[in-house]
Structure 1
Amino acid sequence: MNNKFDALKDDDSGDQDQNEDSHTQKENEKEKTDNEKTQNSTKRKTVVPGPGEHPLQYNYTFWYSRRTPGRPTSSQSYEQNVKQIGTFASVEQFWRFYSHLVRPGDLTGHSDFHLFKDGIKPMWEDEANKNGGKWIIRLRKGLASRCWENLILAMLGEQFMVGEEICGAVVSVRFQEDIISIWNKTASDQATTARIRDTLRRVLNLPPNTIMEYKTHTDSIKEAPTCKTPGLILNFKSILLE
């Protein structure tokens, strides 16, 4: 279940030689080492189900972010700061993560949990997301924990029946309301988005008059020209139960 980057090699070098040939050799060695480090850093240990565990159709990754209202940042800054909690490949591995996380209803401030297929970042600009969109449901306080659990269990259980269209889900905790959303790859596929909407109504047992909004990621980016993805400050420790 461990999902760490491989350890990078030590890059400390010895005393510099003033001889130009020696300096060039050291530079070449450093470049080689840097290349090896880059390759190693991109090699992730494959997460697989353990013996006797129940595999999921896809591997998924939990992410966490905490936003500071009114503090804009670049999408690059967001990508560097959003915290990856871990990746799982089986039902049992999911519950190990989930049972140690604070429930959304117990979070404070502008906090978000993201659960996305492994390899898809929770960003509008990600290759898998850029042509897609999301269904948004605004919840009154007190409903987020139950709705979030029902949503992600439906997603992990492949209840949406839309092939590979589902990218991930997000729960956003705010001061006066909470928001849940599910992201898909192809915003222009109306039949798929309609099926996702109908399944969402069913798995969340939503009242008939519930307002559901579909928003493309292209529109989200246009509405936030100075901040493609919301700014964040992380408080990772606070989301883990003691």
Structure 2
Amino acid sequence: MNNKFDALKDDDSGDHDQNEDSGSPKECEKEESDEEDKEQNTAKKKTVVPGAGEHPLQYNYTFWYSRRTPGRPASSQSYEQNIKQIGSFASVEQFWRFYSHMIRPGDLTGHSDFHLFKEGIKPMWEDDANKSGGKWIIRLRKGLASRCWENLILAMLGEQFMVGEEICGAVVSVRFQEDIISIWNKTASDQATTSRIRDTLRRVLNLPPNTIMEYKTHTDSIKAWEDFHGLVNASGGR
């Protein structure tokens, strides 16, 4: 398998910029043809399959990584551009090939996130699979993120939550004072499902009874984000 972790080394610029020079008609046609070829190649790459003799997972998954400078104004577009896709996998063996080479969350610095989502679902509130859903959030003291993240994603890949197709993905967010893990599901209004996810989360993470767990709908997250940035813009900056 090729090393796909070079995505972590990319800077935050240029991935989505287009050259404004239009060029000659022939050049334009060639560029359009090249773009079509790229899109077709990308579509081919997106579908991963288990190798011979490997143990298939029920769903394919994709690892993502993001990092940003705290305090820098963010937008939905800049957030999407800042997410780096590490790679997708379809089997237990393919998962371990990625995971064994990845930095553990506890060793990350700054304002960093790992995302593990079903293939085809972007780790964004606005994604069609996420927009009617929400997430369970657990804030962790420093030193617990690596163990909790591993337990969470192994439980997710092993279908321990027993909620059918409801699980979309999971996120670990490394911050300066604390770390945060969350698991996202499709239907925020389904209380039976969200309760089952909460109870399974407590069990697989072996959380103390007094651990605070918060469920937040993505609709509320979007509204809070818009309200905050509205206040920031109204104040003339940060």
Question: 1:39 offset after TM fit, Å?
Answer: 4.1
User: Residue 115 of structure 1 contacts residue 169 of structure 1 at CA under 8 Å; is this kept in 2?
Assistant: yes
TM alignment of 1:219-238, pairs within 5 A: 219-225=220-226
**Which of the pair has the greater relative contact order for Cα pairs under 8 Å at 6+ separation?**
1
Q: Is 1:109 matched with 2:110?
A: yes
3-state SS of paired residue (1:43): helix
Larger Rg: 1
How many Å apart are 1:123 and its aligned residue?
0.4
Amino acid at match of 1:212: M
Show the counterpart of 1:8.
none
Offset at residue 141 of structure 1 (A): 0.6
Alignment of 1:55-204 (within 5 A): 55-204=56-205
Distance (whole Å) between structure 1 residues aligned to residue 87 and residue 123 of structure 2: 14
TM-aligned CA deviation for residue 144 of structure 1: 0.5
Q: Does 1:210 align with 2:218?
A: no
Please tell me the root mean square deviation across aligned C-alpha atoms, in Å: 2.3
- 1:98, 1:31 → 2: CA distance? 37
Q: Determine helix, strand or coil for the equivalent of 2:124.
A: coil
Using the size of structure 2 for normalisation, the TM-score is 0.82
Return the offset for 1:49: 0.7
The 3-state SS of whatever aligns with 2:97 is: helix
Instruction: State the Cα distance separating 1:73 from its structure 2 match.
Output: 2.2
Cα distance, 1:3–1:218 mapped onto 2, change above 3 Å: farther
1:29 Cα deviation (Å)?
3.7
* Equivalenced residues, count: 210
Code of the residue aligned with 1:153 in structure 2: it is L
State the one-letter code of the partner of 1:125.
E
Distance in 1 between residues matched to 2:76 and 2:133, nearest whole Å? 18
Cα contact 1:3–1:44 (8 A) shared by 2: no
Offset at 1:36? 2.6
Asked whether the equivalents of residues 68 and 82 of structure 2 are also in contact (C-alpha less than 8 Å), the reply is: no
Distance in 2 (CA, whole Å) between partners of 1:160 and 1:104 is: 23
| Helix, strand or coil at the partner of 1:79 | helix
Q: Which residue of 2 aligns with 1:44?
A: 44
Structure 1 residues 28 and 150 mapped into 2: Cα distance closer, same or farther (>3 Å)? Answer: closer
Pairwise CA distance, 1:74: 1.9
1:70 is matched by which residue type in structure 2? G
In structure 1, runs of 5+ residues without a counterpart are: 5-14, 17-22, 229-242
Distance 2:42 2:52 in 1: 27
* Deviation digits for residues 73-116 of structure 1 (CA, Å, limit 9, x no counterpart): 22122212210000000001101100001110111111100000
Contact in 1 for aligned 2:149/2:181 (Cα 8 Å)? yes
Distance (Å, rounded) in 1 between the aligned partners of 2:187 and 2:39: 32
Any stretches of 5+ residues in structure 2 without a counterpart?
5-22, 231-238
Question: How far, CA to CA, are the matches of 1:150 and 1:120 in structure 2?
Answer: 21
Relative to its length, the structure with more helix (as a share) is 2
Q: Distance in 2 between matches of 1:181 and 1:42?
A: 29
Q: Secondary structure at the match of 2:44?
A: coil
Mark the CA change 1:88 to 1:2 in structure 2 (over 3 Å): closer, same or farther. farther
Contact 1:47 1:89 (C-alpha < 8 Å) held by counterparts: yes
Q: Distance in 2 between matches of 1:81 and 1:111?
A: 11
